[in-house]
């Protein structure tokens, strides 16, 4: 055990205990807490004339980011950037109120981890650090969500220094990060977002990794939806390490946090009900419910209200209610709304892809009776039915791949190596009919699309690369 690590982590635990106790003590009254949070947000941001949840729902519409104008709130300190549905970057406002809301989610998460996996805090930790890309002004890492005091405690035990994020070349960033980790034999905790990030860092060392860090007790990462396969690979590589589901966290806010509440034999992330105000949008009817009114086994889109000026914001995240603890729902992340393909964090939107695809095909004069992108393994594939020459289609995918990299998240995944270059699959015939037959919906409700978030299309269309 490292005395410095134990001291810093003990201080972090002590600072987390009050909020963690409040979280667990109030789960039976989650609905009342939610209303209190909403009214506090409204008063702080000059909307105090709204006196109830019902009045709020009547006066403020549910909107996606693209339906917002300029987002304003009191005391905005900066904006974080993430991609929008049209491909342009979203500007998400941050202020002290939002930081405090996030802190109320992190505290029960960390306190629960201390209680169930104390060995995770005996040595150094690696909290994921994303490189600062020239096209992206965001500098967010895991530790940035912790608040100034807790961030200082985390940095005291970081296995990889924060300034590594300023390395622009991704190969250098990866080698430097791995070099720091290899020097840290007492590493006990790793926190990343998508598990493929850690797999890429490990490279050819995967089968040796468990012996390289014998004291590694916990890896915190996404484990649901498109991350499930890579999370299972981490579990294989590190058989003695606990893989903790990270919960649903985004630039806009925290939706769910991992806490040690077993449902069907496994812990289920709980709604971060003491942080923001949440509603659930029914997939079938668009009816909006309070977060505490969701039915077990049903899926919903999450609607978020935060202290930084997002009011009834449709996050386009789809969750399933898997149970309740008191009045607090327990959630499982299912995926993004269907028009977004997000396997590795690339966040490609159908509108953005269609516009780029049509532009490139038009530039080359290529006529296609069917054209669609979908992710197969670790690369997107252009499935196309066209009489164009093979050499011309190869030029098309080269230019289209460059156009897709206008999306900063797709570009990041390509530069990091999570995604390989765009490939082409020539469909022999019946492209539209084959798609409609396998779209998984009633044929009358299916529309052709330029982007499908599901894989497996290479095995459905006739043809080949």
Report the phi/psi class of residue 30: left, alpha or beta, with left for phi > 0 and alpha for psi in -120 to 50: alpha
Tell me the pLDDT of the chain (465 aa) as tens digits.
567 777 777 887 888 899 999 999 999 999 999 999 999 999 999 999 999 999 999 999 999 888 887 777 788 888 887 755 444 567 888 999 999 999 999 999 989 998 889 999 889 999 886 655 444 444 455 555 555 655 666 667 888 988 887 887 767 888 899 999 999 999 999 998 878 788 878 988 989 999 999 999 999 998 887 678 788 889 999 999 999 988 898 889 999 999 876 555 556 799 999 999 999 999 889 999 999 999 999 999 999 999 999 999 999 888 999 999 999 999 988 877 767 889 999 989 887 898 899 999 999 999 998 899 999 989 999 999 999 999 999 999 999 999 999 999 999 999 999 999 999 999 998 887 788 667 654 333 345 688 988 889 999 999 987
Neighbours of 373 (CB within 10 A): 25
Q: What are phi and psi of 406, to 5 degrees?
A: -65, -25
* pLDDT the model gives residue 137: 41
Contact (Cβ atoms closer than 8 angstroms) between residue 321 and residue 296: yes
Structure tokens of 465?
A: 């690369």
| Nearest by Cα to 225 from 277, 141, 131, 299 | 299
Say if CB 66 and CB 86 are below 8 A apart: yes
Half-sphere exposure at residue 305, Cβ-oriented, CA atoms within 13 angstroms: 27
d(CA 301, CA 336): 9
367 Cβ contact partners less than 8 Å away, ≥ 6 residues apart: 361, 386, 387, 388
Closest by CA position to 106, among listed 199, 20, 8: 20
CA distance 146 to 166: 20
194 close to 217: Cβ distance less than 8 angstroms = no
Half-sphere exposure of 245 (CA within 13 A, CB side): 23
* Contact status, residue 347 vs residue 410, Cβ threshold 8 Å: yes
Burial of 63 (0-12, 13-18, 19+ CB in 10 A): middle
Structure tokens given for 14: 């002590």
* Cα distances (Å, whole numbers) of residue 22 to 16, 29, 261: 10, 11, 16
- State the pLDDT at residue 133: 45
Give strand pairing partners of 141. Answer: 129
Residue-level pLDDT at 69: 77
Q: Which residues pair with 305 in a beta bridge?
A: 277
Cα–Cα distance between 94 and 39 in angstroms, integer? Answer: 19
Where do the domains of the chain lie, and which CATH numbers do they carry? 3-336 (3.40.50.12780), 340-464 (3.30.300)
Please tell me the predicted confidence (pLDDT) of residue 84.
52
Q: How far apart are the first and last CA of the chain?
A: 54
Strands (E), 232-358: 242-245, 256-257, 262-263, 266-267, 270-271, 277-282, 288-290, 299-305, 313-325, 328-336, 340-341, 348-349
Instruction: Tell me the CB-side half-sphere exposure of residue 244, using CA atoms within 13 A.
Output: 25
Token output for 5? 């690590």
């Amino acid at each position: 055990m490292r005395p410095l690590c134990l001291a810093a982590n003990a201080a972090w635990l002590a600072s987390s205990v009050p909020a963690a106790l409040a979280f667990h003590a109030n789960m039976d009254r989650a609905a009342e807490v939610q209303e209190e949070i909403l009214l506090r947000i409204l008063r702080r941001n000059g909307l105090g004339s709204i006196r109830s949840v019902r009045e709020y729902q009547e006066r403020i519409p549910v909107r996606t980011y693209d339906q917002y104008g300029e987002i304003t709130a009191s005391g905005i300190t900066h904006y974080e950037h993430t991609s929008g549905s049209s491909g342009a970057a979203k500007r998400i406002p941050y202020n002290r109120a939002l930081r405090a809301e996030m802190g109320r989610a992190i505290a029960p998460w960390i306190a629960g981890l201390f209680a169930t996996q104390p060995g995770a805090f005996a040595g150094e930790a690696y909290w994921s650090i994303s490189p600062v890309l020239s096209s992206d002004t965001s500098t967010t890492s895991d530790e940035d969500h912790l608040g100034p005091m807790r961030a200082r405690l985390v940095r005291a035990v970081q296995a990889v220094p924060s300034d590594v994020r300023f390395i622009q070349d991704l190969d250098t960033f990866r080698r430097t990060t791995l070099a720091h980790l290899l020097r840290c034999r007492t590493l006990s905790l790793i926190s990343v977002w998508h598990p493929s990030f850690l797999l890429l860092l490990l490279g050819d060392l995967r089968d040796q990794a468990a012996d390289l860090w014998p004291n590694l007790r916990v890896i915190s990462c996404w484990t649901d939806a498109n991350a499930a396969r890579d999370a299972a690979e981490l579990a294989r590589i590190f058989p003695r390490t606990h893989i903790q589901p990270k919960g649903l966290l985004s630039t806009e806010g925290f939706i769910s946090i991992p806490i040690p509440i077993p449902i069907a034999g496994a812990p289920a992330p709980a709604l971060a009900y003491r942080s923001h105000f949440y509603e659930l949008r029914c997939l079938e009817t668009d009816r909006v419910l309070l977060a505490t009114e969701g039915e077990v086994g049903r899926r919903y889109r999450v609607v978020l209200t935060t202290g930084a000026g997002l009011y009834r914001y449709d996050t386009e995240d789809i969750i399933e209610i898997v149970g309740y603890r008191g009045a607090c729902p327990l959630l499982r992340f299912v995926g993004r709304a269907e028009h977004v393909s997000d396997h590795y964090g690339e966040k490609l939107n159908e509108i953005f892809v269609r516009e780029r695809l049509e532009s490139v095909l038009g530039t080359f004069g290529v006529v296609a009776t069917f054209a669609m992108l979908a992710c197969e393994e670790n690369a997107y594939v252009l499935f196309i039915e066209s009489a164009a020459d093979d050499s011309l289609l190869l030029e098309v995918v080269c230019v289209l791949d460059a156009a897709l990299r206008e999306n900063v998240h797709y570009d990041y995944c390509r530069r990091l190596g999570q995604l390989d270059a765009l490939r082409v699959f020539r469909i022999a015939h019946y492209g539209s009919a084959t798609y409609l037959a396998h779209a998984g919906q009633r044929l009358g409700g299916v529309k052709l699309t330029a982007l499908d978030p599901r894989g497996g299309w290479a095995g459905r269309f006739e043809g080949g690369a």
